Structures are given as structure tokens and as C-alpha cells.
Amino acid sequence: MKRLFQLSLLTLSLLQLETVSAHAVVTDNSLQIAPIHANRAEKVELTFNSQVELGLSQIFLVSKGDRHELLKATKGEQNGRIVVEIPPLAPGNYALRFKIFAADGHLTEDVIHFVVDSTEGEDQAGQEQSPNLDRL
Ligand SMILES: [Cu+2]
């Protein structure tokens, strides 16, 4: 019984070690809940599983023809969060390509694809109104 306890302690400390030395991987991004509207400056928040060295990281907007544009990014309110400033965009397909330095000095590259829709705000307005209509 005692041995089992020691074994689980060992496993626990190994798991913690793994978490501390993990590279910065995106675990969440605000595009999933808040799509980018056309022709409007927007912000996208990226959440990483570890602290990020913002000064050594680069985030690019990739648009048609593989055009890369370096974007401005600032620290979010919580550790591991980055707020990326998106310039006003015409409707179309885009991607965020980022090279992120984790606090452990490891570099991670990743791409998030997203679509800027031309139907500006119409869908959202409809969704917000329907609950009120039900009540009436
Ligand atoms: Cu690492």
C-alpha cells in the first residue's frame, strides 16, 4: 500500500515536470466564439498552455496569394494569453500564422484558418432577437 502511494507520488511529480517544460501550444482562441466582421478592426485572443515570450514571438496575417503581414500583439490579462490586433479586412479566407516562443525557450509554429463573412451582422441580430419574439 505504501509502495503504491510512493508510485503515485512519483507519477504526479513527473506529470508536473511535463507541464512545466511543455512548449507553448494554443489551447483556445476567440475566433471560435467571436468571428471577425468585415471592414472593422478586431482583436483575437489566443490562449496558450504556457507563458509566452511576446518579444520573441511573431504573429502574421496570411491573406490571398500567401501575403504575410506582421501583426501587433499584446499580453492578455492572464498568463499565457495574447491579444492580436486584426486590421479591417475584406470578406474572404485568411489565416493567422504564428511563431511562439514559450518561457522554456522552445519555438512552436502553428496556423489558424478563419473566414471573414460578407453577411455583416445579419445572422447575429436574428439570433439575438428570436428569444424576445418567443416571449411576446
Ligand atoms: Cu518546450
In a domain, 38, yes or no: yes
Q: What is the pLDDT of residues 81-128, one digit of tens each?
A: 999 999 999 999 999 999 999 988 899 999 999 999 886 555 444 444
In a domain, 131, yes or no: no
**Number of domains the chain is built from:** 1
The SS3 call for residue 9 is: helix
CA dist 61 and 63 (Å) reads 6
46 to 2, 3, 5, 25, 127: CA distances (angstroms)? 43, 42, 38, 10, 26
CATH code of 55's domain = 2.60.40.1220
In a domain, 98, yes or no: yes
Distance 98 CA to ligand 1 centre (A): 16
Confidence at residue 16, expressed as pLDDT on a 0 to 100 scale: 53
Distance 24 CA to ligand 1 centre (A): 7
Distance 61 CA to ligand 1 centre (A): 24
C-alpha grid cell for residue 124?
Answer: 447575429
Distance 66 CA to ligand 1 centre (A): 28
Q: What is the pLDDT of residues 33-75, one digit of tens each?
A: 999 999 999 999 999 999 999 999 999 999 999 999 999 999 9
> The pTM is what?
0.70
Distance 18 CA to ligand 1 centre (A): 9
